[in-house]
């Protein structure tokens, strides 16, 4: 047997997860205290010289993502998820939470870098692309489930809607790209912060997840899908018990009686890790059997469709959350 330690976790998708055991993250009490006047603690993130006010919803979405206020996929449109992210930012800044780009918000939401940048495709990126098998059996026979297309890869990396990327790059033939091809993308780096998480709030009615400090400041805001079955939606305080990056997923046919393939298989299958794994790039288990927070290969559906029972996030938000949580972190689920 390899040195890889398997974590066996049952969860709402009906599977069993296995992943390399990550090192236990630091808890707030393990981290040296910082003085109250430390800009890393007291100032709004990111602490960089201010630029001009955002001038459009595209710029607003990009800047919100940089600061940890995810609106789902960046698409340049003020939809419900963008309005929700804006309201969270406004509350953090002591502004009237209108969800709009009003003058007071424009004065506070300043660009920290140009909103767009270039992405140049590499030979290595194309070498990693693989079509995703249509069946559970086919998926289980692959060593990994990476991105299927160049468009999918950059859409996830830069938190963007595929259709938005098509609009940004009208002359790009996405089916005939070669190494060295250059496209425009939102300039969104991976989210990072020095602030320490004290709890997670999940508001079921709003399909929203927020990570806050002890003082109630929002560190991370993102859309979340919740259980389709109302009886599977836990309300109250849970706690994080397991933190697993890049997890496997065990397909259990007993949980998918509606699937003809599941009925024919009659056995469990290990689905390998990768962004197209059913639980995406992260699994955060909770202290109620069958419940956890995880990523998804379908970010466009987050907050718009419902899950089998767990809390589902876009992969980029699940990875950002992974870096913030610690074993024992309270997760407060509100109606």
Q: What is the pLDDT of residue 5?
A: 30
Strands 269-271 and 218-223: unpaired
Q: What is the pLDDT of residue 257?
A: 81
Which residue from 193, 191, 151, 145 is spatially nearest to 169, judged by alpha carbons? 151
Q: What is the pLDDT of residue 37?
A: 33
Please, are residues 309 and 325 in contact by the beta-carbon 8 Å criterion? no
HEC assignment per residue over 84-102: HHHHHHHHHCCCCCCCCCC
Q: What is the DSSP string of 184-252?
A: EEE--PPP--S----EEEEETTTTEEEEE-TT--EEEEEE-B-BSSGGG---EEEEEEEEEES--EEE-
As a whole number of angstroms, the distance between CA 30 and CA 13 comes to: 34
The enclosing H or E element of 286 equals: strand 282-286
What is the full per-residue pLDDT of the chain (335 aa) written as tens digits?
333 333 333 333 434 344 433 333 333 333 333 333 333 333 344 455 679 999 999 999 999 999 999 999 999 999 999 999 999 999 999 999 999 999 999 999 999 999 999 999 999 999 999 999 999 999 999 999 999 999 999 999 999 999 999 999 999 999 999 999 999 999 999 999 999 999 999 999 999 999 999 999 999 999 998 865 555 667 789 999 999 999 999 898 987 888 899 899 989 999 999 999 999 999 999 998 878 999 999 999 997 655 555 899 999 999 999 999 999 999 999 98
Residue 200 token pair: 């997670």
φ/ψ of residue 202, rounded to 5: -120, 120
φ/ψ of residue 62, rounded to 5: -60, -50
Query: Nearest 5 degrees, angle CA 232-CA 218-CA 41?
Result: 140
Q: What is the pLDDT of residue 188?
A: 98
Please, are residues 312 and 68 in contact by the beta-carbon 8 Å criterion? no
Q: What is the pLDDT of residue 76?
A: 97
Residue 180 token pair: 């060295």
Please, are residues 131 and 79 in contact by the beta-carbon 8 Å criterion? no
Q: What is the pLDDT of residue 309?
A: 55
Q: What is the pLDDT of residue 254?
A: 85
- 156: three-class secondary structure by DSSP: helix
What residues form DSSP beta bridges with 315? Answer: none
Instruction: Give the Å distances, CA to CA, from 69 to 4, 62, 109, 192, 307.
Output: 35, 9, 12, 12, 22
Query: In terms of C-beta distances under 8 Å and separation of at least 24 residues, what long-range contacts does 90-93 make, across chains too?
Result: 91/218, 92/44, 92/217, 92/218, 93/44
Residue 124 token pair: 């290595």
Q: What is the pLDDT of residue 32?
A: 31
As a whole number of angstroms, the distance between CA 171 and CA 255 comes to: 45
Residue 221 token pair: 């805001």
Residue 224 token pair: 């979340």
Q: What is the dihedral of CA 311, 315, 320, 323, to 10 degrees?
A: 80
As a whole number of angstroms, the distance between CA 231 and CA 215 comes to: 32
Q: What is the pLDDT of residue 232?
A: 61
The whole model's pTM is what?
0.83
Q: What is the pLDDT of residue 24?
A: 35
């Amino acid at each position: 047997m390899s040195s890889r330690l398997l974590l066996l976790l049952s969860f709402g998708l009906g599977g069993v997860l296995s992943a390399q055991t990550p090192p236990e993250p630091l808890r707030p009490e393990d981290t040296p205290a910082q003085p109250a006047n430390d800009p890393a603690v007291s100032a709004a993130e990111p602490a960089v010289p201010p630029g001009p006010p955002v001038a459009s919803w595209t710029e607003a979405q990009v800047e919100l993502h940089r600061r940890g206020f995810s609106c789902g996929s960046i698409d340049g449109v003020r939809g419900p998820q963008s309005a929700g992210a804006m309201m969270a930012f406004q509350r953090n800044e002591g502004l009237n939470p209108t969800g709009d780009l009003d003058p007071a918000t424009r004065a506070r939401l300043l660009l920290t870098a140009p909103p767009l940048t270039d992405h140049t495709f590499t030979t290595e990126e194309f070498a990693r692309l693989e079509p995703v098998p249509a069946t559970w059996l086919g998926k289980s026979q692959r060593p990994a489930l990476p991105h299927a297309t160049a468009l999918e890869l950059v859409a996830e990396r830069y938190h963007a809607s595929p259709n938005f990327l098509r609009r940004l790059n009208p002359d790009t033939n996405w089916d005939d790209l070669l190494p060295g091809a250059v496209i425009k993308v939102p300039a969104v780096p991976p989210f990072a912060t020095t602030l320490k998480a004290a709890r997670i709030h999940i508001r079921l009615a709003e399909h929203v997840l927020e990570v806050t400090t002890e003082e109630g400041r929002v560190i991370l805001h993102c859309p979340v899908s919740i259980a389709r079955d109302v009886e599977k939606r836990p309300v109250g305080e849970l706690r994080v018990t397991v933190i697993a990056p890049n997890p496997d997923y065990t397909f259990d046919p007993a949980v998918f009686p509606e699937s003809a393939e599941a009925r024919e298989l009659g056995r469990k299958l290990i689905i390998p890790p990768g962004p197209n794994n059913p639980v995406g790039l992260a699994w955060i288990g909770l202290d109620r059997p069958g419940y956890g927070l995880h990523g998804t290969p379908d970010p466009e559906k987050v907050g718009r469709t419902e899950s089998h029972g767990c809390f589902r996030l876009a992969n980029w938000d699940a990875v950002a959350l992974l870096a913030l949580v610690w074993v024992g972190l309270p997760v407060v689920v509100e109606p």
